[in-house]
Amino acid sequence: MIRYLSSRLFVFIIAFFLLTVFTFSLNFFFPGDPVTNMTGVRTFSDYYPVISEIRGADKNIAFQYINYMQNLLSGNWGASLSSGDYVFEHTYQHLFASLELIVGALVLAVLIGVPSGIFAATQFRGPIDKGVISLAMAGYSIPVFWLAQLLILFFAVKLDWLPITGQINPLYGIAPQSGSILIDIVISDSDYKAAALQDALNHLILPVIILSIMPMMLLLRLMRNATQDMLQKPYVKAARARGLNEFQVLIKHAVPNATQSVLQQVPLIFSLLLSNSIVIESIFNWPGIGNWLVRAIFERDFPVIQACVLIIALTILLFNLVVDLYRGWRFPIVRQE
């Protein structure tokens, strides 16, 4: 396990290193001055010569990279070109807002996708299985932005059940602290916590559901195929022969092994979730990292673009690491690969 752990950590660190090299080189690819792109200090600013000197703009590239890394690790991510705010201070609020959606969608996708997948596998090639699989195919193919608009029109406008954009009705006056609205409400000193919580949940429903549909359908298909594969393995036949009933066979023998192979695909699902969250956040004006990124691209705010890219990629890398470690811990066979 220790060898496995250290090898995975090593891979993570190398990947992180490559990622920072990539974001560092972005500064030179982006239009404009590299130092401005890094720090948000414009060339005509009084501070520019000083900053440029510190960043070593005239020194070799290795020095600049080391300098960049020092700043990166100490949280000095420069200032936004459009608002002048320090990027790092705003990063975690956006990240937490995004995570709120993503975690919600992931949980929903697992809660519905996995059991339905298993269920479909037990009905293999039956009408229910066929129905579920076609549904999954449709749900997987529907463009998220279109689905979002349709659901907004139906649930928010036609039925008037749900609000459309933002995290909460701003009149509740919940100050953003962590960025995650639910946490913010709990730690706020508002007199109307219950009502605010209610309102925030109402705001969460639509984006979470829409975001969860694609991964849910993918998960459903993967789970169904994997479970079905397992059900045909000899060891399952052996279990049946021992007199276990179908349910026990499923839960004790087929599902755990199916989970192992599906877990391998979970990073893929997570990255799908993140790229969809960029679109969904823009549609729902959700103050998350994806929305921030899209706006920054419009405003050509390079320090912010960089921060968003770094954060999104890093989130994915970390998630992969955790999934890998879990697999290694839970399924010894993985460690021997």
Partner 1 sequence: MTKAFSLLISATTILLSGCEPGTEEVTPLSEGIIYCSEGNPDTFNPQLVTSGTTVDATAAQLYDRLIDYDAEKQAFVPALAESWEPLDNGTRYRFYLREGVEFHSTDYFTPTREFNAEDVRFSFNRWLDETSLYHNVGGSYPFFSATGLDKLIQKVVKVDEMTVDIVLNNADSSFLANLATDFAIVLSAEYAQLLSVKDMPYLIDQKPIGTGPYRFESFRKDVLIRYTKHPDYWREGPGIKQLVYSITPNANKRMLKLVTGECDIIPYPLISELQALNRDDIMVTNEVSPNVSFWAFNTKKPPFDDPLVRQALSHAINRQAIIDTIYYGNAELARSILPPTSWAYDNQGIQYDYNPEKARKLLEEAGNSELSINIWAMPVQRVYNPNARRMAELMQSDLAQVGVNARIVSYEWNTFRRRLSRGEHDTVLIGWYADNADPDNFFRPLLSCAAVATGGNRANWCHPGFDQLLYEAIATTNANERKALYQSAQHILNQQLPLLPIAHSRRYQAQKKSVRGVQLPPYGGINFRLATKVTTAEESEQ
Partner 2 sequence: MPHINLYYKDENPSPLTLVWRRFNQRLLSMTALYILLAMILVVIFSPILAPYSTSMQFADAVSLPPSWTEQGNIQFLMGTDDLGRDMLSRLLIGSIYSLGLPILMVAVSSIIGMVVGAVLGIDRTIKYQTFSRVFDTLLSIPSFLMALIIIAILGTGLFNVALAITLSLIPQFIFVTRNAVHQEWHKDYVTASRLNGCSKPYLLYRVILPNITPILVMQLTVSLSVAIMDIAALSFLGLGIQSPTPEWGSMLARSLDEVYLSPWSMVLPGVTLFVTIMSINIVGDSLRRALSERVNS
Which residues of the chain form contacts with partner 1 (CB under 8 A)? Answer: 82-83, 85, 112, 135, 138-139, 142, 147, 150-152, 155-157, 160-166, 169-173, 175-176, 192, 195, 198, 201-202, 205, 209, 213, 285, 287, 291-292, 295, 298-300
- Is residue 153 a contact residue for partner 2 (CB under 8 A)? yes
Member of 1, 6, 21, 29 binding partner 2 (CB under 8 A): 29
- Is residue 336 a contact residue for partner 2 (CB under 8 A)? no
In angstroms, what is the minimal distance from the CB of 76 to partner 1? Answer: 20
Size of the site for partner 2 (CB under 8 A): 48
In angstroms, what is the minimal distance from the CB of 313 to partner 2? Answer: 5
Residue 318 has a CB neighbour count (10 Å cut-off) of 12
Phi, psi of 242 (to 5 degrees): -75, -5
| Binders of partner 2 in range 158-177 (CB under 8 A) | none
Nearer to partner 1, 19 or 151 (CB): 151
Are the C-beta atoms of 23 and 306 separated by less than 8 Å?
A: yes
Nearer to partner 2, 57 or 309 (CB): 309
Q: Which long-range contacts (CB under 8 A, 24 or more apart) does 29-34 make?
A: 30/302, 30/305, 31/300, 32/302
In angstroms, what is the minimal distance from the CB of 145 to partner 2? Answer: 5
- Is residue 15 a contact residue for partner 2 (CB under 8 A)? yes
- Is residue 129 a contact residue for partner 2 (CB under 8 A)? no
The option from partner 1, partner 2, none interacting with 244 (CB < 5 to 8 A, set by class) reads none
Residues binding partner 2 (CB under 8 A): 7, 10-12, 14-15, 18-19, 26, 29-31, 137-138, 140-146, 149-150, 153, 267-268, 270-272, 274-275, 278-279, 282, 293-294, 296-298, 300, 302, 305, 309, 312-313, 316-317, 320
